[in-house]
Chain A
Amino acid sequence: MAKRVGMEVALAVAEAVGQCNIDMAAVYPITPQSHIGEHLSDLVADGKIDAEFVTVESEHSAISAIIGASGTGARVYTATSSQGLMLMHEILPIASAMRLPLVMGIANRAVSGPLNILNDHSDIMPQRDSGWISMFVENGQEAIDLSIQAFKIAEHKDVNLPVCVNIDGFQLTHMVEPVEFPDQELVDKFLPARVPFATLHPSNPVTMGAFAMSDYFTEIMKAKDEALKNSKKTILAVWDEWAKIFGRTYKPVETYKAEGADILLVTMGSMGETAEIAIDELREKGVAAGLVKLRLWRPFPFAEIKEVLTKAKKVLVTDRAVSFGGPGGPVCGEIKAALYHEAVKPAIYNYIIGLGGRDVRVSDFTSMINQVAAADASKVTDTYEFLGVRE
C-alpha cells in the first residue's frame, strides 16, 4: 500500500520525479523552485536514483542541456520559476519543434518588475505559445501524480512534445501537507523505459533541429500545432489509465457543484480548493454558484469548456496574470474565444486576482460571486477588474 506522509510539496515533487527512472536532470536554483532541484540533487548524490544531475550556470543552460540529453534518448527533467523560465523562453519553442519529450516542473512565481518572489501565473503565460503541453495542479498529491504522468504523456509515440507541470509557488511548493506516493512497482509498470523515435549517437549521426526557410517552415509549424492538438487524446488515455491503477481521476476541466449553477467561477491552480469553500457557503445561502477548474492549459480544452460553461447564465473568470493592453486575463481571453461561436452563451466577467502573492481568501471569492450575481447580464462589457486594487 502507498504510504501517506506529511511532506513539503517541493520535496514531494522531487521524490516523484525520482520514481520515474530519469536518466538526467539539469536544474538551476531559483525561489520558490529551489527545493525541487536541491532535493533531486540529494537523491542523486545519495545514490537513491541512478541519474546524472548536471549543475549548470543558468536556466538557459539547464533547458539546453536537457534538450541535448533528450536528443540522445534520455529521460530528462528540469524545474524553474519566474525569471528562470523567462531566461529559458528562447529555447522552449525549439524543444517543441524538435519534438523532444522534456518534462519541466514550474513553481509559478510573478515576474519582475518590481522584483517579487511570490506566486502568480505571470511566468507561464508568456510561454503559452511555445508549443508545450501545460497543466496545472491544485494540491501536493496532484503535483506528484502529474509530475509522473508528464513523462508518459511527453514520451508517448503520438505526442513527443515537452510537458510542463505548473505548481503554484509557496502556496503549494512550501506547504507541508499529506501526500501519498504510488508504489514503485506500479509506477514502473505505468511508465516503461522511453522509446525514442531517433537518437543522437556518434556512430550513427543524425541531424535534429535543422534549418528551414519559407519552403518548409509553415509545414513544421502546422505539424507542431497538430501534434499539440492531438496530444489531448493521449492525455485523456493516460489519465484514464492512471485512474484505473491509482484510483485518482484527472480531467482537462474539472467541476465542483457546477450542476444547475447559474454562476460558474473559473479558477486555475492552487486556489481551486479555497474557492470550493466559497461555493459551499454560497450554496448554503441559496446562491446557485458552481466552480470550474481548468487543469489543462495547453492544449486548451475547447470542447469541455464549451460543454460546461454554456449551461450557466454568468461566468466569472479569475486570472492570475495580466495581458497588458489586451483583453484582460489570458484565461478569460481564451474562454471568450471558445464561446464566441456558441448560439447561447453566458455573460462573462473577468477578475485579475492574487498577483505577486496577494492572498485571496474565501470571503474574496464569495464577494466576487455576489457582485457578479447582482450585475445586470444584459449590460456586461469587455472590461475586467483588479480585485481589491488600491487606486
Chain B
Amino acid sequence: MIEVRWHGRGGQGAVTSVELLAQAAIAAGKYAQGFPSFGPERRGAPVAAFSRIDDKKIKVRSGIYKPDVVIVLDSSLIGLIDVTDGMKPGGKLIVNTTKTPEEIRRELNFTGTVATVDGTGIARKEMGVPIANTTMIGALLKVAGFMGLDALKESVEHRFGRIAQKNLNAMKRAYDEIKISN
C-alpha cells in the first residue's frame, strides 16, 4: 500500500487531487481512498489531504501518520509546517517549486528521495491559472510509479469537461519535467 500526504493551502485543490487520484486508481482496477484532513476549512490556511492506493482491499480508516510520499503544492508552507513529519527514511518528497531537489534537500535536511518541478509555472502556461493541483498528480505518478498517466484521463475528463485536456497536458509536462534526486 502507498500512503500519500498532500500539503496545500485552502483553495489550492488538494482535496480535488486526492479525489481524482482515487477515482482514477479505482477505475484502473485498484483499491484507493482519498480524504481531506477532517474539520473546518479556510481559504489560504494550511490544509492536508490524503491518498491510499493498494492492489487489495483497504481496511484501515485511521489517519496517515507515516506517509510513503509527501507532496507540497505550495512551497511557502516549507518552514511554516514540518512537511517531512513522520516520513519513512526512504520516503519520497515532491515539491512544487522552481528550486532544485538539492536545494530542498539542504533546506529540510531530508535523506530520502527529493523531487521538484515548477508546477505553478506549468499550470500557468498550460491552463492560464496558478493552481497546480492536477499538474502535481503528474509529478506524483512519475515519482511513485504505481500507475500510468493514462489512468487519469477518464476522471479528469469527467471532472473538467472541455478544459480537461489542458489539465492532462499540464500533468504530462510535470511528469516529463520533474527533477528527481535519490
Count A-side interface residues using an 8 Å CB cutoff.
27
Nearest CB in chain B: distance from A360 CB, A: 6
Nearest CB in chain A: distance from B13 CB, A: 14
The answer on a CB contact under 8 Å between B36 and A174 is: yes
Is there a chain B Cβ closer than 8 Å to A6's Cβ? yes
Contact flag A177-B22 (CB < 8 Å), given A6-B32, A6-B34, A117-B40: yes
| Partner-contacting stretch, out of B60-68, B82-90, B127-135 | B60-68
Nearest CB in chain A: distance from B54 CB, A: 11
Q: Select from chain B the residue with minimum beta-carbon distance to A138.
A: B61
Is there a chain B Cβ closer than 8 Å to A41's Cβ? no
Nearest CB in chain B: distance from A382 CB, A: 29
Residues from chain A with a CB closer than 8 A to the CB of B25 are 6
Is there a chain B Cβ closer than 8 Å to A318's Cβ? no
The answer on a CB contact under 8 Å between B33 and A177 is: yes
Q: Which of A8, A117, A172, A360 contacts B19 (CB 8 A)?
A: A8
Nearest CB in chain A: distance from B55 CB, A: 12
The answer on a CB contact under 8 Å between A362 and B60 is: yes
Q: Select from chain B the residue with minimum beta-carbon distance to A3.
A: B27
The answer on a CB contact under 8 Å between A176 and B32 is: yes
Residues from chain A with a CB closer than 8 A to the CB of B146 are none
Assembly CA distance A353 to B155 (angstroms): 37
Highest count of chain A CB atoms <10 Å: which of B23, B38, B40, B65: B38
Is there a chain A Cβ closer than 8 Å to B110's Cβ? no
| Partner-contacting stretch, out of A156-164, A189-197, A272-280 | A272-280
Is there a chain B Cβ closer than 8 Å to A283's Cβ? no
Q: Which of B24, B38, B39, B61 contacts A274 (CB 8 A)?
A: B61
Q: Select from chain A the residue with minimum beta-carbon distance to B19.
A: A176
Residues from chain B with a CB closer than 8 A to the CB of A359 are 62-63
Is there a chain B Cβ closer than 8 Å to A387's Cβ? no
The answer on a CB contact under 8 Å between A174 and B61 is: no
The answer on a CB contact under 8 Å between A178 and B60 is: no
Is there a chain B Cβ closer than 8 Å to A96's Cβ? no
The answer on a CB contact under 8 Å between B33 and A175 is: yes
The answer on a CB contact under 8 Å between A270 and B61 is: yes
Nearest CB in chain A: distance from B118 CB, A: 28
Residues from chain B with a CB closer than 8 A to the CB of A271 are 61
Is there a chain B Cβ closer than 8 Å to A170's Cβ? yes
The answer on a CB contact under 8 Å between A274 and B59 is: yes
Is there a chain B Cβ closer than 8 Å to A223's Cβ? no
Assembly CA distance A119 to B38 (angstroms): 9
53-80 of chain A: CB within 8 A of chain B: none
Assembly CA distance A277 to B27 (angstroms): 25
Assembly CA distance A360 to B60 (angstroms): 10
Residues from chain A with a CB closer than 8 A to the CB of B63 are 359, 361
Contact flag A176-B38 (CB < 8 Å), given A271-B61, A273-B61, A359-B62: no
Q: Select from chain A the residue with minimum beta-carbon distance to B31.
A: A178
Residues from chain B with a CB closer than 8 A to the CB of A144 are none
The answer on a CB contact under 8 Å between A273 and B60 is: yes
The answer on a CB contact under 8 Å between A118 and B35 is: no
Q: Select from chain B the residue with minimum beta-carbon distance to A179.
A: B26
Q: Select from chain B the residue with minimum beta-carbon distance to A175.
A: B35
Residues from chain A with a CB closer than 8 A to the CB of B73 are none
Assembly CA distance A333 to B37 (angstroms): 33
The answer on a CB contact under 8 Å between A5 and B23 is: yes
Is there a chain B Cβ closer than 8 Å to A182's Cβ? no
The answer on a CB contact under 8 Å between A274 and B23 is: no
The answer on a CB contact under 8 Å between B62 and A361 is: yes
Known: A5-B27, A6-B22, A119-B38. 20 other contacts (CB 8 A): A6-B25, A6-B32, A117-B39, A170-B38, A174-B38, A175-B33, A175-B61, A176-B33, A176-B34, A177-B26, A177-B32, A178-B31, A178-B32, A273-B61, A274-B59, A274-B61, A274-B62, A277-B60, A359-B62, A360-B62
Chosen A-B contacts, 24 in total, with CB atoms closer than 8 Å, are: A4-B26, A5-B26, A6-B19, A6-B23, A6-B27, A6-B155, A117-B40, A118-B38, A119-B38, A170-B38, A171-B38, A171-B61, A176-B18, A176-B23, A177-B32, A273-B59, A273-B60, A273-B61, A274-B61, A357-B38, A357-B39, A359-B62, A361-B62, A361-B65
**Interface pairs A-B: 8 shortest CB-CB:** A6-B26, A6-B23, A176-B34, A273-B59, A170-B38, A176-B22, A361-B62, A178-B26
